[in-house]
Structure 1
Amino acid sequence: MKKILSIFAIGLILVNTGCADFLEEDNRSNVTAEEFYATEEGYAALINSNYSALRNIYGKAPWMFMSGTDLYEEGRSPEPQGLSKYTQLTSSSDGVDFLYTNSYKAIQLANTAIYYADQTVQTPNISQYVGEVRFLRANAYFLLVQSYGGVGIITDFIAEPILSFDRSSAEEVYSLIVSELELALNEVSAGDYTGRVNKRAVENLLAKVHLTRAYEDFAASDDFAKAASYAEKAIAGQGLNLTSEEIWTPGNDMNEEVIFSVQFSAGSISANPSEIGNQQQNYNGPYLGGSEVAGNAPYKTYNLLPTRFALDLFEETDERWYSTFMTEMYVRYYDYYDVEDHSSLTVRDFYEPRWFTAQDSIAYVAANPTTIYHPYGTTDPVGGIISGDRATMIVKKFDDPKSLFASSGDGSSTRDFIISRLAETYLVAAEAYLGLGEVAKGLEKLNVVRQRAGVADATTADFDLDYILDERARELIGENHRWFDLKRTGKLVERASAYNSWITPANFQGAGGNLKILRPIPQAALDLNQNKDFPQNPAYD
């Protein structure tokens, strides 16, 4: 018999149907979950709690998405050592349970929503809601299978704790993901993106799933072809019409190139505006000052810093250099956004680009005698840690000048977290066509991205997997894709070892000669599982 829980026991975070503002909590202590979810209001709240679960996955610590790769090194503040350097990576390491825990929480919410779809009051939106939830459940399983390999598949509503569960193969998990998304295609809205899952978002995720599976030894023979086809459907002939700066301008989070994002707003974090917002801006730069800079600069953790390799990828004409990095930092950091005319502002710090000549440097210092000048090659932690406030390059793409100062593990940004956008879809298509051997088509897609950036077209001689990864780095740095990109393409060991000064190939050596590519199944999950035959990933046995 199903256990009846009070609505407060569910512990859901409820947001409105636009997925941004929190519902005012209503005292329903005498109402059971079954009674509440049977109502139109209650079921809509359950659907919105599924969207809210994305905040814990994407809006918090980014270690499992970006640590230990070719683009980021540890700064003055340490990252979880196992995830950033691999030598200390074990099933009990700090942070390895992050996606496991939060993805299964999202899956349980999705299972609950699908279960109650037949029991709630039937409205015209029910089928669409179920399609949206299928997408969110598939996305959670996609994060799990990429990170841990095969995991336990749970698709039923569970009212009691599961004490014993089996581990499905990665192949079975991918099959579930694809089938869920194919069902969702016919259920979700075909309209424009408004913050809810639509058909384009499903097509885009299907492209990414097929592309990722195409590299596995159990790949379907048509995975690259389906990845290309779904990417083309998601692109739908739309060009990259905005500048890179426009994409990342605060207040423009719902621009025409966004395919799917996690929604935030001032109203949605009003219960605790200095702690429960998006933390994305926090992790992309050096320390800028303490609470005394409140209102003048964001808190930066000094954790994830761009490697020399990441900085070397850009050339002078690349618009993305200027839209990605805060190369000139004013006395008041946020004046970059708040003051329209910068000509009268004093530059406090200048970060020299790779292409500056000696004469360029002399001229800049002469024109800005009070500015702290950071020569190129002194702002990335090659071989050690760079100390000093404002000492390293700042990734500014995610800055929120309206956010409160929030330190440590807190976040106050009300900007949306963009999970997928059109430029990446072009690069997915490029990679899929490369996998198919259709070089001309792939090159065409990749060059659309380069043309928007203002750099020369890549040539056939350039076009290979490493070049695509370099282009993804230039376009997507800081956007929580990199570990998955390297893992998908089989380039994790090679590129992390080559371009991250903390890592060598030996760091990846695990038990029995196996490499630490997959993350370990968290020890807490193994300890709680009464099925003691549930296997750990081989490198961690």
Structure 2
Amino acid sequence: MKKYIALSVLLACIFSACNESDFLRENPEDFMSTSNAFQTEVDFEMAINGLYNLTRYEFYGYNESKPFDYIYGTDLIFDGEPGTYSRHGNMLAGYDPTSNIPRIHWNNLYKLIAESNTVIDRAEASSFSNERKSSFISRARFFRGFAYRTLAYLYGGVPLELHEVQIPKTDYVRSTRVETLEQAKEDVKFAAENLPDIVDVKDGEISSPVAYHLLSEIYLALDMNEEAKDAATKVIDNPALGLMKNRFGSRSTEIPGDVYWDLFRRNNQNRGIGNTEGIWVIQFETDLPGGGSSTTDLKVTGNYMLERNCVPHTGLAKLTINGKVYMPFTNWPCGDYTGGRGIGWGVSTKYFSNTIWEDDFTGDMRNAEHNFVRKFKVSNPDVIALGITEIDVENPPAGLEVGPGSTTIPGRYLYAYQTKCTTPYNHPDELYENKETWKLKSIAGTTFTDQYMFRLAETYLLRAEAYLKLGRKDLAVKDINEVRTRAHAIMAQEEQVDMDYILDERMRELGIEEKRRLTLMRTGLLYDRVMKCNPYYANPETNGDGVGMQKHYNLWPIPQSAIEANIGAKLEQNPGY
């Protein structure tokens, strides 16, 4: 007991012998904190880089299948390994408030908001010039608005926090969806008016056209259609931007190929190589610290595994001929049009691979064989000796197994896929087991190229949507046909244009490049499009087992962990959960 009394006296002497406010003021010198991390312009630039990194992680990083939550469970693809809730194969489990799907994205997006708020508050309190303050604040407000826009589409109205939180808060309440979008609009509008033009930023950096593109989309979500049209027009009329109409880039002389194919080849996405169509391009560098992609670790944080998820697992396909079972693709994984090291989780719907092309199946370059693969070159010499050199999913041979016990295309082992998933004949050299045969190592599966977040073709389709909502179908079809002309597609007619047609055209032009869930949730059409276009989720026989689509899935649930942590107020759950 004496030692405790002595300790108490000692502490009392210490506190009485010094200025209390000075004693309690933290002055960290041997570790980084927000109080000493924002001293110089370099500090702020590093913080801005962190916002880019958080964005890449949420939408393109390796986090199991989380970046692909934006396309799984939509009208584009279905889960090739049924029953796995993490890939939306069981929606009842996947969309439970306690599941990873709603929780991870909620946490990632609020992390982006929190880091943006810190930059904004610290920049406003700094002694930098007004010009430098504006530079930091406009970029941070863009990312904050980008995050709130995404939250509004996924969850509806969410709590709004506009300042750095320095002590725990547990009394958040939800704003409405409109209020959340209004905040996103104000942030992105500020960014659009203050960010530099695209010619004045480095590849991958946000610019005024990036913000105006996003602003057009947010205006559409708010039914501010005239403003949406005007914002898109600012991007389209920018003299530094234009649709790519001629072949270009690293493989422009290769045949087969076309300008659409060129858009997605390795290192072809940035302005630095002459691409005027990319508005915001997410940057990847291979085997560099912070670069994202790795040839030595498949599960490194930055790997964007579009190839792994959305290319069929051809190595498991089976072909029975005269009672004998063959594996047609023995040279697997193979870095040719067989698809690299795909594992067939994200299977193209028939609507995506066939229905939307029916009016112009062979004329539209976006559906050409080198852009949307349907014919797979056989590599098993025993099968070739029997006269079968390729397997065409449009005309498959008898005895073909395309999924576990299934002979119906599409299946996990064989289906039509977009080559923008992968880099045929152009994987990093470190990934080849035998480059003469294009045989890849088992660690392949990443898509090794930069990725479009926003592309000018989409801006035209946003403006077309605005014109449609303004009752100007004549101008809507004109914008749609700007995109279709580049693709050598049959011209759309005014009487064809409705929201379904625009969604179909987005599917034709963007496909798996698009964060499709955001578009369908923004328009409130996720349920309708899935029921129309994706029989895997629409089948009433499976709905009772929790696999199928339900109307309340137009929004995700608020994570149960967020509700339980918010002990000072009630965080309302979305209806149906």
Give the TM-score, by structure 2 length.
Answer: 0.74
1:462 positional shift: 0.9
Distance 1:35 1:472, change over 3 A: same
1:434 positional shift: 0.4
**Partner secondary structure for residue 102 of structure 2:** coil
1:409 positional shift: 11
1:395 positional shift: 2.4
Whether the 8 Å CA contact 2:185–2:218 is kept in 1: the answer is yes
Q: Is 1:72 matched with 2:72? A: no
Partner in structure 1 of residue 280 of structure 2: 260
Partner in structure 2 of residue 227 of structure 1: 228
Partner in structure 2 of residue 42 of structure 1: 43
Partner in structure 1 of residue 560 of structure 2: 523
1:486 positional shift: 2.3
- Mapping of residues 454-533 of structure 1, within 5 Å: 454-504=488-538, 507=543, 515-533=552-570
Whether the 8 Å CA contact 2:285–2:292 is kept in 1: the answer is no
Whether the 8 Å CA contact 2:309–2:344 is kept in 1: the answer is yes
Partner in structure 2 of residue 394 of structure 1: 417
2:150 to 140, 143, 148: 143
Aligned equivalents of 2:392, 2:372: Cα separation in 1 = 15
- Mapping of residues 285-324 of structure 1, within 5 Å: 285-288=311-314, 296=335, 298-312=340-354, 313-314=356-357, 315-322=361-368, 324=371
Q: Is 1:248 matched with 2:254? A: no
1:412 positional shift: 4.7
Distance 1:189 1:239, change over 3 A: closer
Counterpart code for 1:234: V
Which shifted more, 421-430 or 305-314? 305-314
1:250 positional shift: 1.3
**Partner secondary structure for residue 97 of structure 1:** helix
**Partner secondary structure for residue 372 of structure 1:** strand
How many positions carry a matched residue from both structures?
480
Which shifted more, 307-316 or 388-397? 388-397
Partner in structure 1 of residue 122 of structure 2: 116
Counterpart code for 1:504: A
Counterpart code for 2:174: R
**Partner secondary structure for residue 279 of structure 2:** strand
Aligned equivalents of 2:90, 2:234: Cα separation in 1 = 39
Aligned equivalents of 1:282, 1:140: Cα separation in 2 = 27
Which shifted more, 393-402 or 251-260? 393-402
Which shifted more, 433-442 or 157-166? 157-166
Q: Is 1:102 matched with 2:139? A: no
Cα deviation per residue 1:67-110 (whole Å; 9 max; x = unaligned)?
22222111137653684553443212341223211100110110
**Partner secondary structure for residue 124 of structure 2:** coil
Whether the 8 Å CA contact 2:284–2:449 is kept in 1: the answer is yes
Which shifted more, 495-504 or 223-232? 495-504
Aligned equivalents of 1:159, 1:484: Cα separation in 2 = 31
Whether the 8 Å CA contact 2:266–2:450 is kept in 1: the answer is no
Q: Is 1:203 matched with 2:212? A: yes
**Partner secondary structure for residue 391 of structure 1:** coil
Partner in structure 2 of residue 417 of structure 1: 451
Which shifted more, 238-247 or 82-91? 82-91
1:4 positional shift: 6.2
Whether the 8 Å CA contact 1:281–1:398 is kept in 2: the answer is yes
Q: Is 1:538 matched with 2:545? A: no
Whether the 8 Å CA contact 1:55–1:278 is kept in 2: the answer is no
1:284 to 302, 310, 317: 310
Percent identity (aligned): 26
Counterpart code for 1:107: I
Aligned equivalents of 2:90, 2:478: Cα separation in 1 = 37
1:302 positional shift: 1.7
Cα deviation per residue 1:205-245 (whole Å; 9 max; x = unaligned)?
1100011222xxxxxxxx01111111111111654233211
Aligned equivalents of 2:204, 2:392: Cα separation in 1 = 42
Q: Which runs of 5+ in 2 are unaligned?
A: 1-20, 246-258, 317-330, 432-439
Aligned equivalents of 2:314, 2:116: Cα separation in 1 = 40
Q: Greater relative contact order: 1 or 2 (C-alpha under 8 angstroms, separation 6 or more)? A: 1
**Partner secondary structure for residue 185 of structure 1:** helix
Distance 1:29 1:289, change over 3 A: farther
Whether the 8 Å CA contact 2:204–2:280 is kept in 1: the answer is yes
Aligned equivalents of 2:25, 2:314: Cα separation in 1 = 51
Aligned equivalents of 2:40, 2:26: Cα separation in 1 = 16
Distance 1:326 1:245, change over 3 A: same
Cα deviation per residue 1:417-449 (whole Å; 9 max; x = unaligned)?
211100001001111100000111111000111
Aligned equivalents of 1:229, 1:263: Cα separation in 2 = 29
1:380 positional shift: 8.7
Counterpart code for 1:233: K
Cα deviation per residue 1:251-284 (whole Å; 9 max; x = unaligned)?
1021211111222212244698222322333321
1:5 positional shift: 9.6
Counterpart code for 1:51: Y
Whether the 8 Å CA contact 2:267–2:450 is kept in 1: the answer is no
Whether the 8 Å CA contact 1:433–1:442 is kept in 2: the answer is yes
**Partner secondary structure for residue 228 of structure 2:** helix
Partner in structure 2 of residue 370 of structure 1: 389
Aligned equivalents of 2:60, 2:206: Cα separation in 1 = 18
Whether the 8 Å CA contact 1:281–1:298 is kept in 2: the answer is yes
Whether the 8 Å CA contact 1:3–1:159 is kept in 2: the answer is no
1:454 positional shift: 0.9
